[in-house]
Structure 1
Amino acid sequence: MRVLRGRSARPAADREHTARLLADAGDGTPGLRVWTPPRQVAFGRRDAREPGFERAKRLAADRGFEPIERDVGGRAVAYPGDALAFAHALPLGDGRGRGSIADRYGRATETLLEALRGLGADVSRGEPPGSFCPGDHSVRVTGGGKVAGIAQRVRGDAALVAGCLVVTPADAREIADATAAVYDALGVPFDSTAVGSVAAAGGPEAPKPLARALEDAFVDGPWGDGDPRIDRVDRDG
C-alpha cells in the first residue's frame, strides 16, 4: 500500500496531497496518509450553508486558525498544529468491493481503537453530548471526552475514509476554544469540556508514535496488504 508521509505548510497545498491520494485510488492504487495538518479550521459542507458561516470563518482567523472548506461531511474541526489527521483512500472499481459505507465506518473505527489501545490508551466507541464534529462514528476517552471522529467521501470509483485525532490536553484546550467560538456562530451546540485527548486516555503525548501506530494498523488491517511503500510530501509543495 502506498503510504504518504509529510505535509505542506499551506493548508490549500496540503489538501492537494490528499486529493491526489483519492484520485490515485480511483485509478486502482489504494493509499494512506497520517499527518499533522497545518493550523486551520476545516469547515464541512453543512457549515457553508449556515447563515453564520462568514462570521465563523472570521472568528477562526482571529484565533490564528486558517479557515478552509473540506470535501468530506461533518461539522467544523479545528487543527491546532499538533493534532493528527488520517485519510485512507480505497479503490471501489477493482471488482473486489470494499463493503458498504457502514462497513467502512465500522472497520475504520475498530482499526483506530485497536491502534490506540495498543499504545495504552483507554478508549471506546462513541462520544459525549456536545462534542466537536458530532457523529455516530467517534472514539472517546472511556468515560471522558471525544478523541477522534471519522467521516467519508465516496465517489463512483473510490472512497476516502478520513478522520481527526486529538493528541494532547494542550491540543484539546485550543480545539475547545476555537470550536466554541465557531460553533456559536454556526448555531451548533458544543460543550468545551467534551474534548478529550489520547494523552488523557493514557496514550502517548507525541504525534509521531501515534502516526506510526495508525499507519501500521491500516497497512496490516482489513484493507491493507502488509507492505507499506513510503512516498514523501514536499513540505513546501
Structure 2
Amino acid sequence: METLVVRGRKETPNADRAATKTLLTHTTETGQPTVRVWTPHRQIAFGRRDTRADGFDRAVSIATEYGFPAIERSVGGRAVAYTGSVLAFASTIPIDDIRQGMDERYETATMQLLTALSDVGATVERGEPADSYCPGEHSIQGSDTGKIVGIAQRITGGAALVSGCVTVTDRDATELASVLAPVYAAIDVPFDRASVGSVEAAGGAAAVEAVQRTIEQTLISGPTAVVDCNSIELDL
C-alpha cells in the first residue's frame, strides 16, 4: 500500500494539530501509513502535567509576552515550543496489537532520524543533556552540543503515531532557550538553556527545507501518494 505523504500546514495551530490527529484516524480505519514533515505555527504546546502546575497561568502569560500562543495537548510530556521554522514530523503506522511493538517503533524512528541528520552533515547521537526541554528517553543530541530531536508515541486501537520535533538553526535554538527558561521556571521544572541544540550547531545544514526533505525521504518506505493538507479534506 502507498504511504500517504502530507505536506504543508493548516491556517491555525488548532486546525493544524487536528490535521495530524485525522491522519492517525485515517490509518486506523484504512491501514494506510502516512508521513508528515512540516513547520508548525509559532506556539508553545503544554502537556497535561504542565496544566496542573501551580504556575501554569503565569507560564501562559510569559509565553504570550514572548509572542508564543499557548496550546494545551492532552498527551505528551512537558512544554515544547515552535518558532514557525522548527520542524515537526509525524508518521502513522497500522498496528494489530497495542501491547506490542512500542520499543521497536521508537528504535526505528530513532535510527531514521539519526540517519537523516547524518545525511545533512550533523554529528549526532542518542540521548539528551541534563535539564532538557520536554525530557524523555527517546531523544537525539549533537555530539558535545544540545538536544536536537525529541520523539514521542501515541497509540490507538489500530494505529500508532510516532512524532517529534527537530531544531534546525542556531537562531531557533536561541529563541527556544529564551522563552522556555522563564516558562519552565514558572511551572517549577528544571531547565538549562544550554541544553537546546540544533542541526546547525552539530555541524549540519542550516537550511530548514533541505533538512525537511531529507527527514521526509528517510521516513518513507515504498511507493507514495503526495497531497497538500490545504488542498484536500483530511477526513479521508
TM-score, normalization by structure 1: 0.92
Unpaired runs of 5+ residues, structure 1, are none
**Aligned equivalent of 2:19:** 17
Choose 112-121 or 53-62, whichever is displaced more: 53-62
Q: 1:227 aligns with which of 220, 223, 226?
A: 223
Q: Secondary structure at the match of 1:15?
A: helix
Q: 2:28 aligns with which of 26, 29, 35?
A: 26
**Aligned equivalent of 1:38:** 41
**Aligned equivalent of 2:169:** 168
Determine the C-alpha separation between the residues in 2 that align with 1:234 and 1:152: 25
TM-score, normalization by structure 2: 0.92
CA deviation digits over 1:79-119, x for unaligned, max 9? 011100001111113x8x89521111111111100111011
Q: Secondary structure at the match of 2:173?
A: helix
Whether 1:77 aligns to 2:76 is no
One-letter amino acid of the counterpart of residue 200, structure 1: A
CA deviation digits over 1:199-222, x for unaligned, max 9? 111111121111111111111xxx
**Aligned equivalent of 2:71:** 68
Contact 1:92 1:98 in 2 (8 A): no
Q: Secondary structure at the match of 2:71?
A: strand
One-letter amino acid of the counterpart of residue 91, structure 1: P
Choose 119-128 or 41-50, whichever is displaced more: 41-50
One-letter amino acid of the counterpart of residue 32, structure 1: V
Determine the C-alpha separation between the residues in 2 that align with 1:114 and 1:71: 30
Q: 1:54 aligns with which of 53, 57, 63?
A: 57
Deviation at 1:229, TM superposition (A): 1.2
RMSD, matched Cα: 1.7
**Aligned equivalent of 1:90:** 93
CA deviation digits over 1:146-186, x for unaligned, max 9? 00101111112111111000010100011001111111111
Choose 43-52 or 19-28, whichever is displaced more: 43-52
One-letter amino acid of the counterpart of residue 120, structure 1: G
- Superposed structure 1 runs of 4+ greater than 6 Å apart: none
One-letter amino acid of the counterpart of residue 157, structure 2: G
Closer, same or farther in 2 for the Cα pair 1:125/1:91, shift >3 Å? same
Q: Secondary structure at the match of 1:193?
A: helix
Identity of aligned residues (%): 49
Determine the C-alpha separation between the residues in 1 that align with 2:8 and 2:74: 20
Q: Secondary structure at the match of 2:128?
A: coil
**Aligned equivalent of 1:111:** 112
Unpaired runs of 5+ residues, structure 2, are none
Deviation at 1:9, TM superposition (A): 3.3
Determine the C-alpha separation between the residues in 2 that align with 1:138 and 1:202: 18
Contact 1:72 1:151 in 2 (8 A): no
Determine the C-alpha separation between the residues in 2 that align with 1:152 and 1:187: 25
Deviation at 1:234, TM superposition (A): 1.6
**Aligned equivalent of 1:212:** 213
One-letter amino acid of the counterpart of residue 42, structure 2: R
Determine the C-alpha separation between the residues in 2 that align with 1:148 and 1:118: 15
One-letter amino acid of the counterpart of residue 82, structure 2: Y
Q: Secondary structure at the match of 1:127?
A: coil
Contact 1:83 1:167 in 2 (8 A): yes
Q: How many aligned positions are there?
A: 229
Deviation at 1:70, TM superposition (A): 2.2
